[in-house]
Amino acid sequence: MTNSHLRLQRMAMVAIMGALAFILMIFEIPNPFSVAGFLKLDISDLPVILVTWCFGPWSGLATAAIKVVLHLMVGGDWLGSLSNLISAACLIFPFNWAFQHPKWKLYKRLYIGGAVATITLTLVMSLLNLWVLVPLYSVVWGWHPSVPMGQLIALGVAPFNVLKGLILAALFALLANSLKGVVKQYQKS
């Protein structure tokens, strides 16, 4: 295949996976940690991580951006969409770092990538909610948490992101194991 065919194939895959991620974003599960009931769990980052594995972090980020733009177009709020994009980046870059270790077996890359991604997601989103997102929601929409900020982060946001990271890592490990032959074809091209 020529370079232009490969580029076209990559762009088509990013667009298709971005649309799939948007569809998966629609199916949300309420947060089991009632302290932070505004957070919703979805698996829309699975296609994003898959594209990252096939084509690298910038393609993964483009996939996440497509998902977020589509969500905005159907009425999603800009602050929630921005935080979704940031949380996707928290998963993309650690997983990509783990994928870059060819001497590691696949399961080791998946476990280490999943662990580092979960820790990154939890730390970044906890601090971002503490210092930026919750204060912005308070100013823009007049929303105020029902519990003190520290309690909201410690009992709501942090456990939610740990759960989200672990679920996504486990689901991606299952998906990656069954798709490793197909992904090798994309990585060679």
The C-alpha atoms of residue 179 and residue 185 are separated, in whole angstroms, by 10
The C-alpha atoms of residue 129 and residue 152 are separated, in whole angstroms, by 9
pLDDT of residue 31: 84
pLDDT of residue 163: 96
- Average pLDDT score over residue span 97-107: 95
CB 39 within 8 A of CB 31: yes
pLDDT for 26-66, tens place per residue? 999 988 877 888 899 999 999 999 999 999 999 999 999 99
Question: Which residue, 118, 165, 157, is CA-closest to 31?
Answer: 157
Task: Tell me the pLDDT band of 184, cut-offs 50, 70 and 90.
Answer: confident
CB 147 within 8 A of CB 123: no
User: Does the domain spanning 3-188 belong to CATH 3.40.50.720?
Assistant: no
The C-alpha atoms of residue 153 and residue 130 are separated, in whole angstroms, by 7
pLDDT for 123-181, tens place per residue? 999 999 999 999 998 999 888 898 999 999 999 999 999 999 999 999 999 999 999 88
Overall pTM surpassing 0.85 (yes/no) = yes
Task: Tell me the pLDDT band of 188, cut-offs 50, 70 and 90.
Answer: low
